Chains A and B, each alone.
Chain A
Amino acid sequence: MSAVSAAASRRAGRRELAGARRIVRETLSYLLLIIVTVIVVTPVAWILLVSLRTQAEYTSYPIRFLPSSAHWENYYRAVFEYAFLPKAWNTLQIAVPSTILTVLSSALAGFGFARHRAPLRNLMFILVLSMLMVPRMVTIIPTFMLFAKLRLTNTYWPWILWGLTGSSYHIFLFRQFFAAIPKDLEDAAEVDGCGRFRIFWQIFMPNSAPVIATAAIFHFQWVWGDWVNPQIFLTAAKTTLSVFLQSAYQDPKGFPLDTLRLAAVAVYITPMLVVFFVAQRYIIQGIVTTGIKG
């Protein structure tokens, strides 16, 4: 009997040890995850903390962790005393049409690739994907030469044209999504005499809210954050926030006003953070579907 109870207590001991080990492992995991969180989030939070300081406090030593007093007027000045709003309007004028057009044309092509059999289809799809491999500068320099000759530089036409023809990334996204939709729906509609376009527009699109949201958010975010295209194709008057912010915040003598710039940066990144927090399920689903980081 004592042997049995000894074995039982040994087993219980082992279970306890395993439990203890699990607790240690979980604690260590949490510790690691929290440290990584602090490292990842701090640089963003630090912008907010520094944006509330005066320029004198920004340049002073030793560096203080908290501002001596919060100068919220930095935000008012950054947005209203400089051309922040006109440039935000420029950015929207580019981003909104570009997003709508890119989503529509990419969905069309994605539907074509996903739901139709045709010779050359696979070859053409390989061409779609292979464009992801071409370094941006290889096409952008000649595109600039071409658009300059056509007098399309310093207009928003390049974004319209790019939008009309879709993007490889989003075509891929839509193709993956559409290919997974069961065929029954399509067959039923076809029996009812629906044309291919009506099937696309009245059956596939209304059932694709998540992927449409993903594509729209990704593309909007991309245009909002893009620095290279506005820098190359637009002059100062027509440019977007990303280019404007770089050089705008100076006092009349040309000295930098860093804390105003940081306040403007905070305002600039906030919409993207909000969109992400609201729609993160869609965004992460989109990344996972294509396997490509947006």
Chain B
Amino acid sequence: MRSISRGRRGYSRRERQEIAAFHLFTLPWLLGFLLLSVMPLVLGLATSFTNYDGLNLATIKFVGIRNYTRAFSSQDFYISLSNTAKYAIVSVPVGLVLSMLLAVVLNQPIRGRELFRMLYYIPAILPTYGAIQAWKLFFGLQSGLVNAFLSLFSPGTAINWINDHYMTTLYLYSWWGIGGPMVLFLAGLQGIPVELYEAARLDGAGRFGLFRHVTLPLITPVIFFQLILGFIGALQILEVPILLTGRGGQSGQVQMAQVKFMYMVYTYSQVFDFQRFGYGVALAWICFVIVLVLTLIIIRSSRYWVYYEVAQEGERR
């Protein structure tokens, strides 16, 4: 009888045990969340209003919003932000379309599908440093295969791809990894019920009609997630440009050309090369706000273009 007697807040003993177990199991995560995520977030936000240099707490001073105003009046800020925005706006949508098309081709009943899928995923599993070395070499002036290949048609081709066509090599690098999203699209495509295609075909839909009216709506949830994660990743691009060309601005190094300057590289360099911790965290927070706003916009817009089965049920009524 005691087991069904209601305790405080109207929970049974069993329910209370379940709640206690829940909190025990999630305790390590909660501690980490509070100490290694929330605390750094708060500490960082507080630091962004100071002139902290990373060493001397004695000389630390509250400077109000000066770090933020400084960012908004800095040329480097605008240059690096617009480069990064350009990178994100080109690399993410094109990468999505390419990976989706590749998934559609691979979704046909063809032999060797698993083999192709595995091979396409290779760039995504390479350690970043290894992948970038491959790219640097591939497009390089010395022993670069791209130039060697082009020399077959016009002998002596020696294009300095990474220097003179920097954004192109970056875009191509990001599209080299389309095997990652492609695997997700493929899984999404394989989850579409065959009956839907059959019904649409009976209604007289051609191949394009099937794609437009069955395939595309049903994989919008995949597009939605990949769009958000793609933008979050692209706006933070950091080690790829650093490892591709160096981060510039270090003592004894040539100032990096403006076109190559990416936002997080700027942030990183301000903190770890110039010891401007306050300013650097302010830059990171500005990026955070941009990511948040962008994510909210995509989530808000999703009701107009992302297909959810639940919504469909509601409409039918």
* Interface-located stretch among A10-18, A39-47, A75-83, A205-213: A39-47
The answer to whether A142 touches B183, judged by C-beta atoms less than 8 angstroms apart, is: no
Chain A, Cβ-Cβ closest to B147:
A63
The answer to whether B184 touches A138, judged by C-beta atoms less than 8 angstroms apart, is: no
Fill in one digit per residue for B170-181: 1 if any A CB lies within 8 Å of its CB, else 0.
000000100111
- Which B residues are in CB contact (< 8 Å) with A227? 128-129, 239, 243
The answer to whether A143 touches B36, judged by C-beta atoms less than 8 angstroms apart, is: yes
- Which B residues are in CB contact (< 8 Å) with A291? 184, 222, 225
Among A62, A132, A165, point to the contact of B151 (Cβ < 8 A). Answer: A62
Q: A144 vs B35: C-alpha distance in the bound complex, in angstroms?
A: 13
The answer to whether A225 touches B151, judged by C-beta atoms less than 8 angstroms apart, is: no
Chain B, Cβ-Cβ closest to A59:
B142
Among B26, B144, B145, B235, point to the contact of A113 (Cβ < 8 A). Answer: B26
The answer to whether B288 touches A245, judged by C-beta atoms less than 8 angstroms apart, is: no
Fill in one digit per residue for B102-140: 1 if any A CB lies within 8 Å of its CB, else 0.
100110101000001111111111111110011101100
The answer to whether B295 touches A171, judged by C-beta atoms less than 8 angstroms apart, is: no
CB proximity to B under 8 Å, residues A70-104: none
The answer to whether B277 touches A108, judged by C-beta atoms less than 8 angstroms apart, is: no
Decide yes or no whether A23 CB sits under 8 A from chain B: no
The answer to whether A135 touches B133, judged by C-beta atoms less than 8 angstroms apart, is: no
The answer to whether A265 touches B133, judged by C-beta atoms less than 8 angstroms apart, is: yes
CB proximity to B under 8 Å, residues A112-133: 112-113, 116-119, 121, 124, 127-128, 131-133
Contact residues of A with B, CB < 8 Å?
Answer: 26, 29-30, 32-33, 36-37, 40-44, 46-47, 50, 53, 57-59, 61-65, 105-106, 108-109, 111-113, 116-119, 121, 124, 127-128, 131-146, 148, 161-162, 164-166, 171, 196, 200, 221, 224-228, 232, 241-242, 245-246, 258, 261-262, 265, 268-269, 272-273, 276-277, 280, 283-284, 287-288, 291-294
Contact residues of B with A, CB < 8 Å?
Answer: 15, 17-19, 21-26, 28-33, 35-37, 39-41, 43-44, 47, 52, 54, 102, 105-106, 108, 110, 116-130, 133-135, 137-138, 142-145, 147-148, 151, 155-156, 158, 176, 179-181, 183-184, 187, 222, 225, 229, 232, 235-236, 238-239, 243, 264, 267-268, 271-272, 277, 280-281, 284-285, 287-288, 291-292, 295
